[in-house]
Amino acid sequence: MGACGGENEAGSNGGNADDGKITMGFAQVGAESGWRTANTKSIQEAAQAAGIELKFSDAQQKQENQIKAIRSYIAQKVDIIAFSPVVESGWDTVLKEAKDAKIPVILTDRAVDSKDTSLYKTFIGSDFVLEGKKAGEWLVKEYQGKTDTVNIVELQGTTGSAPANDRKSGFADVIKADPKFKVIASQTGDFTRAKGKEVMEAFLKANPKIDVLYAHNDDMGLGAIEAIEAAGKKPGVDIKIITVDAVKDGMTALAAGKINFIVECSPLLGPQLMDLAKKVVKGETVEQRVLTEETTFTPEQAKAALPNRKY
Ligand code: GYE
């Protein structure tokens, strides 16, 4: 600690690693879900453990707020910027601004669709297409040997976000092999419990026969469970439910049989992010893509995993 004194000239090359301590500006999506809360905690705790000074902002699920935060980190000459882009498109301009200021950027959790991959150093997070596929594969197995039509409703994540786009396409890709699977309604619930409930209420009103709900995260699924129960139906029995994330509340509902299957998406990205940040600031090369390891859970597996679940 304190190896470099304050006598150095202020960083002339943009970043200010001259004080020996790395400063990271992190532009978070918001606080929309249990996943996000766990992700924020992981980042804050890991920064502290790694001795990285963290400047943290919450964009309340708005891209314009994230762009503002990133611009302010550039103006403050942080050493590195990390962010979880709320949507995939529209980042080129601000990423170029960071590049021109020689401040490296790490994408965490969600991807951008920028063609120029030199605009960021690495992208750490899950394979959302694979998550959607795992959800679809469970469904295919569950209805194996049956011929009746399976009416599916889908609660999508935030419109234009990587997890919503990819979880939708991965799932669709797997179930399209069998025409008995029909997605009869698909709408965004913005990854929140309140929106999940509201949209599920509308689904239930408009569709007398719903067999399956596929929700892009636990929170929307949990909101939908309230709507299903209020409509006098049994979640997990009358309507089978698949979600993604595997946060504690989701796992509890899974263990209770109200959700049938959860595809895990780990929010604990903090420690890996801090390791990568240190390497990038030192000028070491890092992998362009760092994948998170994940599994899936049935009710039995949820019961076994719950006592040790950290989030
Ligand atoms: O699944 C959802 C959250 O980007 C992986 O965002 C993340 C998603 C997560 O709101 O719960």
The Å distance, Cα 157 to ligand 1 centre, comes to 8
Q: What's the pLDDT at 20?
A: 79
pTM: 0.93
Q: Where are the beta strands (DSSP E) in the chain?
A: 23-28, 53-58, 80-83, 105-108, 122-125, 150-156, 181-188, 212-215, 240-245, 261-264, 289-291, 296-297
The Å distance, Cα 151 to ligand 1 centre, comes to 25
Quick one: which of 99, 39, 27, 92 has its CA closest to 272? 39
Q: What is the mean pLDDT of each run of 10 residues along the chain (311 residues)?
A: 36 52 97 98 98 98 98 98 98 98 98 96 97 98 97 98 98 97 98 98 97 98 98 98 98 98 97 97 96 95 94 93
Q: What's the pLDDT at 310?
A: 86
Cβ atoms < 10 Å from Cβ of 298: 14
Pocket of ligand 1 (CB under 6 A): 32-33, 35-36, 109-110, 163, 191, 217, 219, 244-245, 265
CA 307, chain centre distance (Å): 23
Q: What's the pLDDT at 155?
A: 99
Q: What's the pLDDT at 60?
A: 97
The Å distance, Cα 39 to ligand 1 centre, comes to 9
CA 244 to ligand 1: nearest atom: 1
In the chain, the amino acid numbered 278 is K
Pocket test for ligand 1, best of 60, 84, 245 (most atoms within 8 A of CB): 245
Q: What's the pLDDT at 12?
A: 38
Pocket test for ligand 1, best of 33, 84, 243 (most atoms within 8 A of CB): 33
List the beta bridge partners of residue 215: 155
Q: Which residue in the block uniquely carries the two structure tokens 């996943």?
A: 35
The Å distance, Cα 283 to ligand 1 centre, comes to 30
CA 191 to ligand 1: nearest atom: 10
